[in-house]
Each structure stands twice: as C-alpha cells, then as structure tokens.
DNA sequence: CTAATTGCAAATTGTTTGCATATTC
DNA sequence: GAATATGCAAACAATTTGCAATTAG
C-alpha cells in the first residue's frame, strides 16, 4: 500500500489525519527496509515532530496493524513492525540482532481448531557477518 | 528426555543438582501439556519450595534451554517454554491466550545466509471456545 | 463545536542484575 | 573449602494507561 492508499483508507474509516499520523505513514511507506522497532522509528520521527510522544507512536502503529497496513511480530524482546506486505519469515541473528526477510516457499500445517488470523515465523541463528567475526 | 536423562546431562556437564533445579526438572518432565510460562511454573513450585526466587527459576529455565532440554519462544508478551521435543508450531488465541501445538507438516524456506539454529512458528487467531463465546 | 487524539508522566509487566549468603561436590 | 547457586531487592526496558489539554473535521 502506498501513501495515498493508506491515507484513503484512513479517510474512509473516518480516522483523523493528524500531523503525527501523517509523518508516521510517510516515513513507513517511504522506507527501503521493511522492518523497524518503535524505538527506532521514535528516534527518527522525534526530530521532525519534537513533541511526538511514544504513546502516540504506539497507538498509531497498532492502528496501522489493525488496518492491515503493517504487520507485527515479536523478536523475543520487543515488537517488530514490518511494512513488507508479502507474507514471509524473519531470520534474526542472535548476536547482532539483524533481521532479514526469508521467503516461505511452502508451509503446510496440521489441523487448527479455531480461526487463524496470522502467522509469525522467526528463524533464529547467526548471520553471515557474525559467523565470520566469530571465527577470528 | 526423561528425568533420569536430564539429571545425567547435568552431572556430565558438572552442573550442580540443587533442590530447586531438581524440583523444576521433576515438574517439567512430569507435565502433560508441554508449554508453560515462568510465572505459571513459579506459582506451582513456590508451594513446594517457598524460598524459591523467580531469578533462580529463570536462570534454571535458560540453563535447560541451553542444554536443549526445553525450547522457548515468545508469545509477544512473555516467553513461553516448551517441553515437547518434536518441532512444532503454536496456535495462540488472542482472546483467552490459550496455546495449542500445531503440527508442521511441511516447511520450505528461501535461502538463508548464516547458520540457522531454531525456528519459532506462531499462528495467531481465535480458538474454538472463544469463537463460540463471541457469537453470543 | 465535539469527538477524537495527543503528550505527559506514572504504572505495569516480564525479565535481569548485583551481591552477600548458602550449598553442592 | 572452592566454586557455584540462591534469594532478595533494586534496576530495566518496552509498553500501556489515565487524563487534562489540543486539534481535525
């Protein structure tokens, strides 16, 4: 979803387009890498909107999650948000914390009694760079 | 791994068999359902070992994770430990929080640069019971 | 105008840490 | 007895909450 589409959705749902929401959406829809943490985003956006509160940021992020604009999963310590719309897994390096997308080529699950809404797939390990570093 | 095998492992690794560790291991290896949270386990074990500290419990749990006796994953809010040795996913009800094992019949991932160590698969949704309850 | 949203600061929650005391081997 | 573990209480970090002040529509 691009900036315009997201804004359109908010309007349709009668959700107010505040400065803080606009900046958050602008930033998210313009980023290259898909994932980010609240803290990370807060550091960047605070420069543009000095009064921005972390509470507002969280509320907007979860609003966007509800709208299906972004996705969230936990890296074990904190919540990671992801703007990449294609379902995929995440490889997290336990040493440096780097997160990379992993394609899910095939996934077949056993029976689930209930309504399943989303899947979070996290692969933990050690990334290339850290593997090299460890060898030294 | 059963009680004896776990104890054997600890001895081999020269890890001291304290009362608290024994009780924790006993409890874990004897439980029917595989998953539990630290808090849950603490509530139960505190009755047996009134002096037990949550710090000791955590340290033992992570010790067991390192030994490969139990597994851990995050449900988003807290760490869930699992004694079920067969790799599987978890279905978490977003309403009641209930966690159920889900068989992973097939999983094919794209290329991962680095050493992958473990996979955590969480399916979020609403369980049968809560679906029924919501209908009312 | 008025209902929604913000910022603040305090509260929560799960987990971790530092350290003196106690325990296994 | 020496090295490890434990318990405690304080520290942490990421959220979340309550509420009065502000703002978009």
pLDDT tens track for A47-69: 999 999 999 999 999 999 999 99
| Residues pairing with B102 in the sheet | B89
Element (H, E) at B9: helix B3-12
**pLDDT given at position A136:** 64
Name the residue of chain A whose CA is nearest to B118's CA.
Answer: A124
| Averaged pLDDT for residues A65-93 | 92
Interface test with B, best of A120, A125, A127 (most B CBs within 10 A): A120
Quote the Cα angle for B126-B101-B83, to 5°.
Answer: 135
b (16+ CB within 10 A) / e for B72-92: bbbbeeebbbbbeeeebbbbb
At A109, list the tokens.
Answer: 């699950």
Q: How far apart are CA A123 and CA A75, in angstroms?
A: 10
Which stretches of chain B score pLDDT less than 50? Answer: none
| pLDDT tens digits along B60-78 | 999 999 999 999 999 888 9
At B9, list the tokens.
Answer: 């492992």
Name the residue of chain B whose CA is nearest to A110's CA.
Answer: B103
Interface test with A, best of B38, B62, B119 (most A CBs within 10 A): B119
What residues in A contact B124, CB-CB < 8 Å?
A: 116-120
CB B54 within 8 Å of CB B24:
no
Q: How far apart are CA B12 and CA A128, in angstroms?
A: 32
Q: How far apart are CA B122 and CA B42, in angstroms?
A: 24
CA-to-C1' distance for A77 and C12, Å?
16
**pLDDT given at position B136:** 63
pTM (two decimals) = 0.90
**DSSP E strand stretches across chain B:** 35-37, 71-74, 79-82, 89-93, 99-102, 104-109, 114-127
CB B109 within 8 Å of CB B66:
no
- Residue A1 pLDDT more than 80? yes
Of the candidates B108, B116, B124, the beta carbon closest to that of A106 is on: B108
């Amino acid at each position: 979803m691009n900036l315009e589409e997201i804004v359109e959705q908010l309007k349709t749902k009668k959700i107010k387009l505040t400065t803080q929401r606009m900046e958050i959406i602008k930033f998210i829809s313009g980023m290259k890498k898909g994932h980010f943490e609240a803290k990370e985003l807060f550091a960047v956006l605070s420069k543009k909107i000095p009064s921005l509160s972390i509470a507002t940021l969280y509320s907007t992020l979860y609003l966007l999650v509800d709208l299906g604009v972004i996705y969230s999963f936990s890296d074990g310590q904190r919540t990671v948000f992801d703007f990449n719309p294609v379902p995929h897994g995440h490889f997290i390096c336990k040493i440096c914390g780097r997160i990379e997308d992993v394609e899910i080529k095939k996934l077949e699950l056993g029976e689930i009694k209930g309504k399943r809404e989303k899947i979070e797939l996290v692969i933990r390990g050690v990334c290339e760079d850290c593997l090299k570093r460890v060898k030294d």
